[in-house]
Chain A
Amino acid sequence: MDVLGQLALGFSIAVTPQNLLFAFAGALIGTMVGILPGIGPAAGIALLLPVTFGLPPVSSLIMLAGIYYGSMYGGTLTSVLINTPGESASVATTFDGYRMALQGRAGAALGIAAIGSFLAGTLGVIALMLAAPPLADLAVMFGPPEYFALAALGLLTIAGLGGGSALKALISAIAGLALATVGSDPLLGSQRFTFGVFELYDGLEFLPVAVGLFGIAEVFVNLAERVRLAPIRASFSGLIPSWADWVASRGAMLRGGIVGFAIGVLPGAGATIASFVSYGLERRISKHPERFGKGAIEGVAAPESANNAATAGAMVPLLALGIPGSATTAVLLAAFILYGLRPGPLLLTEHPEIFWGLIASMYVGNVMLLFLNLPAAPLFASLLRLPYSVIAAGILGISLAGAYSLNNSIFDIWVALAFGVLGYAMKRLGFPAAPLILALVLGPLLEMSLRQSLTISHGSLAIFATRPASAVLLLIGLLGLTGPALWRLLRRPNRKGVTP
């Protein structure tokens, strides 16, 4: 069946009343997740995952994916209205979005962000639809060395490109890999580091770890800092952009969509980097770069388009290769696994209804978000009037019940607590949590493929260099890890103040 035939199959699944309802629920919850501080898309999906137990897998995944891309729309609102991004991918939007709000143009900023997100999100889904199947066909030929290289690429680039200290990110990834060795050995079944605790025999459950690291830890950070949201002073008039705004923004939307998708595909880069790169690109090519930071509408259109297209891009390695590139897609991978599905090359042939149903739902979800976000912006903004303590109570209540409900075990509450405290400490000390969670998910695949590769090669590491695909992937991973530091080194002015 060709792409259009497969897409028709996907739409026949996505537009059933039940799946439309779940797509809407995902888009709505995602928007709220994006608006509320202290809860990002990874936490939102991890917290909602237990609630989806018992639903058909395709409906659950449609809802969880909706939370992911819906959160990108939601993050705009707080960036524009109170200069506080709901999640990191909307930081770049504050530069010009808040300035526009101060000039009485909050409505135009939110309107152009919603339209840009819709157009770039749809462009991203088209690119995902065209890119994933050929990549999956290619991946069918992959053996253990290539899978090892792919998993290593994901970890190395998230350490290098994740922002902050690459060394701390690397340590976080090593810690995640070490935690992944707890439980049964993936090849021989012998127990490792279980200390006689029965609940650890199958390894650390991913969900309580994610709930702790992203849900509980975020609440702890906000409790420590006593989050107080600034009052909203902006007006919402003029949500439909004027012709002049549209003309000024359309190029930025297109470029943002392309840049966002391309960066989203890269493991470890994601929506945050995409939004910053896109903003920087617009400023660089603008005829009036001095307007940026003072309320330029292109400065809102570009990052908002990029962060939405990046979510579609991040789905490419997840769906086609089974390799998540970010914390959020790692939680999505865990959702697939909980439903007995394995994303990767075989998903397209064994479960086309899941793959194409999900893609079709993303088209539908983006349309829903456009109509949800334009008229309902003032309604969503009223969420910001809730005291953070009330939000924290809700997050913690759902976190604890969700952690328990996975295995009906109090032990999982202890695990969530331990990782909540660890996540808080990591945040305070500047260790990113995303490499740890990604390493925990990729650890078993990484170890199994490494050991299988070494067995095939009779213990020679040369197998990773002599197989072209694994050599290229590992080289890209090493560049991803060391590239940013080398770039900074090269750009550092020498003693005469000249940049080499």
Chain B
Amino acid sequence: MITRGDLAPGAILVIAFGALAWSATTLRYGGGFEPGPGFAPVWLGVAGVIASAALLLLARRAPPGEPGDRRGDLRVGLAALGIAGVALAAPVVGLVLAIAAYLLFLTLAIERLSPPVALLSSGGAALIVYLVFERFLNVPFPKGPLGF
């Protein structure tokens, strides 16, 4: 369903697809009868701009959408930042330890589980990751000072 809440995403999409079409003009469009590398991106950009503009127009006349859930978005933002933390910390402390620390943060700070349950579930999940990927599949995870 289209609502007035789609105005901002519609505008962002028009800009994004416009940028795609514009940057695709730097690629070779084609020669003779043979379409080149820029052919598809140019037309996808144009199609995207048209479809997003239609969304914008429809959203202007649509009923207002439901109000956003800022607390929910905040929890998701923290969870996403935590994953970024895993990607940054893994080369230093090791992937398994980084995942364990992240899951503890998620269950304890975001989901507010009791400390024993949070420790058990994050530690259990990290142990499964270690056993399945590192021991069973021999995936060479980045290792930290503790050796895993």
Interface residues on A, range: 35 or more
CB distance from A208 to the nearest CB of B (A): 12
CB distance from A19 to the nearest CB of B (A): 19
Residue of chain B at shortest CB distance from A451:
B35
B86 CB-CB contact with A under 8 Å:
yes
Those of B121-135 within 8 Å (CB) of chain A = 121-122, 124-126, 128-129, 132-133
Chain A residues within 8 Å of B23, by CB: 193
A235 CB-CB contact with B under 8 Å:
no
Residue of chain B at shortest CB distance from A55:
B137
CB distance from B30 to the nearest CB of A (A): 8
A16 CB-CB contact with B under 8 Å:
no
Chain B residues within 8 Å of A459, by CB: 33
User: Once the chains are docked, how many angstroms separate the CA of A177 from the CA of B47?
Assistant: 11
Assess the B9–A429 pair: CB atoms within 8 A: yes
Those of A158-209 within 8 Å (CB) of chain B = 164-165, 167-168, 170-171, 174-175, 177-178, 181, 185, 187-188, 190, 192-193
B51 CB-CB contact with A under 8 Å:
yes
Assess the A389–B107 pair: CB atoms within 8 A: yes
A185-B37, A421-B80 as given contacts; A400 in contact with B111, CB under 8 Å: no
Assess the A177–B44 pair: CB atoms within 8 A: yes
Assess the A216–B83 pair: CB atoms within 8 A: yes
Cβ contact of A397, chosen from B6, B27, B129, cutoff 8 A: B129
Assess the B76–A220 pair: CB atoms within 8 A: yes
Assess the A400–B121 pair: CB atoms within 8 A: no
Those of B3-60 within 8 Å (CB) of chain A = 5-6, 9, 13, 17, 20, 23-24, 27-28, 33-37, 39-41, 44-45, 47-48, 51-52, 54-55, 58
Assess the B41–A192 pair: CB atoms within 8 A: yes
Assess the A181–B40 pair: CB atoms within 8 A: yes
A393-B103, A405-B137, A420-B80 as given contacts; A451 in contact with B34, CB under 8 Å: yes
What 0/1 pattern do residues 76 to 95 of B give for CB contact below 8 A with A? 10011001101100110001
Interface residues on B, range: 35 or more
CB distance from A257 to the nearest CB of B (A): 33
Assess the B47–A174 pair: CB atoms within 8 A: yes
Chain B residues within 8 Å of A397, by CB: 99, 103, 125-126, 128-129
The 5 closest A-B pairs by CB, nearest first: A224-B72, A389-B111, A397-B125, A185-B37, A390-B121
* 20 extra interface residue pairs, beta carbon distance < 8 Å, beyond A171-B48, A192-B37: A51-B132, A174-B17, A174-B48, A190-B37, A193-B23, A220-B76, A224-B76, A396-B103, A397-B125, A398-B128, A400-B83, A400-B99, A405-B133, A408-B139, A413-B86, A414-B87, A416-B83, A428-B68, A447-B40, A451-B35
Instruction: List residues of chain B with CB under 8 Å of any chain A CB.
Output: 1-2, 5-6, 9, 13, 17, 20, 23-24, 27-28, 33-37, 39-41, 44-45, 47-48, 51-52, 54-55, 58, 68-69, 72-73, 75-76, 79-80, 83-84, 86-87, 90-91, 95, 99, 102-103, 106-107, 110-111, 113, 117-118, 121-122, 124-126, 128-129, 132-133, 137, 139-142
